[in-house]
Chains A and B, each alone.
Chain A
Amino acid sequence: MAGDWEIVIGLEVHAQITVKAKLFSGAAAAFGAQPNEQVSLVDAGMPGMLPVLNGAVVRHAVRTGLALGAVINLHSVFARKNYFYPDMPQGYQISQYELPIVGEGELTIELADGGTRTVGIERLHLEQDACKSLHYQHPNKSYIDLNRSGVALMEIVSKPDMRSAAEAAAYVTKLRAILRTIGSCDGNMQEGSLRCDANVSVRRPGASLGLRCEIKNLNSIRFMRDAIEYEAARQIAVIEAGGKVAQETRLYDPDSGETRSMRSKEDEQDYRYFSDPDLLPLNLDQSYVDELRDTLPELPDARKQRFMADHGLSSYDSSLLVADRETADYFEAVADGRDAKLAANWVISEMPAQLNRTGNALACSPVAADALGGLIDLIADGTISNSIAKDVLSDMFDSGKPAAAIVKERGLEQVSDSGALEAAVAKVMTDNPERVADYRAGNNKLLGWFMGQIMQASQGKANPQLVNQLLREKLAG
């Protein structure tokens, strides 16, 4: 891609709010139910049915706004967005248009070069999700699954402040960490609880904004990156070939890696927005907002800074730990009274491997934080080595037993008895006189070979530091 082009990206993130019921009905909003199992009369658009706002949703939206440092609008209004589609049973979507619940805010992302960029948040509004058309049950009919109809979404609209696909990815990652930390959205893109639309345009640096294309319904960060990169390259190619970018809505096809036109600007519907007469304007008290502000949990940025300052962790490790609240909480529980770097290593690398192997999530991990702490204690006091500990963790996942019990049962205690170790060193030296001679002649690399022999003979239980020390002494003669 030519270096003299600038890519301009704005994102609209649709985040499903973590609440049991829907935005305006009491029906359940869980993922994975059979078609049309979670549908109230309101969701089905039955005659005479009326929406009633779910207060828990408002709370989540305000907390999210506060976490984004945004203006909370004490007066907001629900509006109807009118259009016909089988997945929109009322014939309109209840959304917020002119007066959203949350106004301008910002979010800071870290760039690859170590710098940061502040991305403006334009607004956050509440809206109903649509339901789903199913096309494969019948050769020439479609079926409708109303389960998602009316599920509560927050649409978080950024300003066009991002300049690369990587920045867009960093923005979504950061936003997701914030949503997970405050618990307003589980951020699960596979299940569709987080989706984004990307507005992409290109321009010569310093020029005014180019015409943009909106890429709809990107349901993974990788797809989003790929889609933005493809789309930017496509637009540049169009302009460099003397053409003009047409403002339009496009779809990304993950199989081909391409975006294709869905509808042009001329085909855009007139949604005939007007305030919903079935719902009163939403008026909040400042005291309500203040209380939510005061009870907001520590946000990822602040927590990351604290991990770096208090525990001496790297920026990279800290970012991984604060990506969601559960991981950060788990880490803090493990690190409590222990070596934080050791704890971080185990939480970041060994735990995910075992969770992955056993198909568990951290929230329901068979190895709780204190159990992992018990294992780390055994490493710290020299009872077992790091490599034995990995084996013990795997056993802990399978048997559910504490680390100490496994170590004891399987006799995995590290051998630190100098008498036993001296005997082992003496034996290997007696058995291999020519290698001893080689070493003494200056082949220092053989130290590793001797180490390996002893560790093998002890089935890994020999204390490596002590063995190393003894070998150096004895081999020196």
Chain B
Amino acid sequence: MSELTQLTLAQARDAMAAGEFSAVELTDAYIAAMEAVRGLNCYLLETAGRARDMAAASDARRAKGDVGALEGVPLAVKDLFCTAGVPTTAGSHILDGFTPVYESTVTRNLWDAGAVMLGKTNLDEFAMGSSNMTSYFGPVTNPWQRRGDAAKLVPGGSSGGSAAAVAARAALAAIGTDTGGSIRQPGAFTGIVGMKPTYGRCSRWGVVAFASSLDQAGPMTHDVRDAAILLGAMAGHDARDSTSMDRAVPDFEAALSGDIRSLRIGIPRQYVMDGTPPEIDALWRQGIEWMRQAGATIVDIDLPHTKYALPTYYIVAPAEASSNLARYDGVRYGLRVAGDSIQEMYENTRGEGFGPEVKRRILIGAYVLSAGYYDAYYLKAQKVRTRIADDFHAAWEKVDTILTPTTPGPAFAQGEKMDDPIAMYLNDIFTVPASMAGLPAISVPAGLSAEGLPLGLHLIGRPFDEETLFRVAGVLEDAAGFDARPALMAKGA
């Protein structure tokens, strides 16, 4: 394994600035790494040729003194972002043969900052899942294994391919999308940092939509500093997305002062849940202690509507998805399965094109929006959503950041929980409330489970105050000192 792939984004950036190696050399190391971990199925498409061209162009720019914030940085892109001239699948059969002629704003921003695209990563179909098991292109294998157990584990989802690629050192960093936890949960499962910014911080233009009021792009990186750097390049107002906020993008990296002595950290009572494994509780208590030792004030807070967040999410997100996915009808692009009438063509195309989890959510979504059920489900869910946001709003009177676990447990084996959607949905129990309120949140690797699997701690911040969030996350990261490596990497595979 190349030394080059052991660096963080910040280290690689600084080394290239110092002339220690070129973007082409760094990219070649990652192309080799991608090939080496093909067994994990984290990339749906490797774009090695394009990566080399982009790296060469980057070196040429650098030679002229034209250096972007991500100059020469090789990245993996979740295959939910439309990339011009590069097939985009959303992990679904229904987008068969679809190659966008347009580039999503977020990826456009990355390339404009000098980054290099390594390839498109695997994901749960249309980002619907917490395991990456619902991908039409097969599951992703987590580079981590339980101690003394060769069972293949999931990397979490839906940004499972991006998480596994970073954890397996097959990308310097990656971008994902988070609707209810799809960046943070796989981040926790693979021992990397996963960050979801405030809703409206990154443009959704060109990102295949799952649930429009929740979807948000974010960075998946080796450490907090890398996340701050990457988000800085991804973010920004986009007139083509009406929900993108016209706010300046601060220097997030500069916010990592390491000093949280003036800050108040909130600990929500309602996040203590029955059935949470003791090791999760223990890690959370450890996190609280780290914060206290760093000089922050610990404040117990109430977020009384927390228990309604998950059920509410599973009304709102499918409702939006049922409508967002109506455009996949076989008429204009993607899969078309012929039929004798237009109705039959729709049925055949959507019947074959969508997998079971997507169908389940479309059915749930259509149901909760239908006449006679709308008030009881969708409208009620919208009201509860407002209450959840109000809870957080009240909390910001008392605290600056909120600390919780990221997930109720470590990565599970491929195939587990597949017959029990509710158990699967519970993966998002700690991440969904911040999504419902549109708040920035980050998962930081903080420890290992008894079985030797990574666990994450989760911080939630004020809207558009990612700077404070990164600052606290940096301190948490330093305190945790997480330096374990996945079994796969330890074996030098």
Contact = CB atoms under 8 A, between A and B. Distances in A.
Interface stretch (A113-121, A272-280, A309-317, A353-361): A272-280
Contacts, number: 97
Interface stretch (A85-93, A437-445, A454-462): A85-93
A277 B322 CA distance: 13
Interface in B181-217: 204-209, 211-213
A243 interface: no
Contacts of A86: 329, 331, 342
Interface residues of B, number: 43
A53 B208 CA distance: 20
B208 A92 contact: no
A277 B98 contact: no
Contacts of A91: 323, 325-327, 329
Residue among A41, A46, A47, A86 with the highest chain B CB neighbour number at 10 A: A47
Contact of B332 (A44, A142, A272): A44
B240 interface: yes
B21 interface: no
Contacts of B371: 270, 272
Interface in A140-187: 142, 144
A45 interface: yes
A241 B213 CA distance: 55
Given A41-B102, A48-B82, A50-B205, A278 B370 contact: no
A48 B204 contact: yes
Contact of B327 (A89, A272, A277, A280): A89
A51 B327 contact: no
17 contacts: A41-B102, A44-B332, A45-B327, A47-B82, A47-B209, A82-B322, A82-B323, A84-B329, A84-B346, A270-B370, A274-B320, A277-B211, A277-B212, A278-B212, A278-B242, A280-B242, A280-B243
Contact of B240 (A45, A52, A82, A89): A52
Nearest to B102: A41
Contacts of A47: 82, 88, 90, 95, 98, 100, 208-209, 327
Contacts of A279: 242-243
A132 to B, nearest CB: 13
Given A91-B326, A92-B326, A48 B206 contact: yes
A151 to B, nearest CB: 18
Contact of A277 (B100, B320, B325): B320
B153 interface: no
Contacts of B392: none
Interface string B350-375: 00000000000000001001110010
Interface in A40-63: 41, 44-53
A409 B371 CA distance: 77
A48 B89 CA distance: 12
Given A47-B327, A89-B332, A274 B378 contact: yes
Nearest to A82: B323
B369 A274 contact: yes
Residue among B100, B104, B204, B323 with the highest chain A CB neighbour number at 10 A: B323
Contacts of B369: 82, 272-274
A325 interface: no
A216 interface: no
Contact of A272 (B100, B104, B366): B366
A272 to B, nearest CB: 4
Closest A-B pairs by Cβ, 10 of them: A91-B326, A277-B212, A277-B213, A272-B369, A45-B327, A48-B206, A47-B208, A91-B327, A270-B371, A48-B82
Contacts of A277: 211-213, 243, 320
Interface in B41-93: 81-82, 88, 90
Contacts of A49: 205-206
Interface of B: 81-82, 88, 90, 95, 98, 100-102, 104, 204-209, 211-213, 239-243, 319-320, 322-323, 325-327, 329, 331-333, 342, 346, 366, 369-371, 374, 378
Contacts of B322: 82, 272
A212 interface: no
A123 interface: no
A285 B209 CA distance: 31
Given A41-B102, A272-B366, A50 B323 contact: no
A80 interface: yes
Contact of A46 (B81, B242, B333, B370): B333
Contacts of B323: 80, 82, 91-92, 272, 274
A47 B327 CA distance: 8
Contacts of A273: 369
A278 B199 CA distance: 12
Interface in A273-295: 273-274, 276-280
A237 B121 CA distance: 67
Contacts of B104: 48
B242 A89 contact: no
B209 to A, nearest CB: 6
Contacts of A53: 242
Residue among A41, A90, A278 with the highest chain B CB neighbour number at 10 A: A278
Residue among A80, A89, A277 with the highest chain B CB neighbour number at 10 A: A277
Nearest to B370: A270
B243 A48 contact: no
A50 B378 contact: no
A50 B240 contact: yes
Contacts of B320: 274, 277
Contacts of B374: 272, 274
Contacts of B329: 84, 86, 91
A213 B41 CA distance: 58
Contacts of B333: 46
Contact of B242 (A52, A80, A270, A274): A52
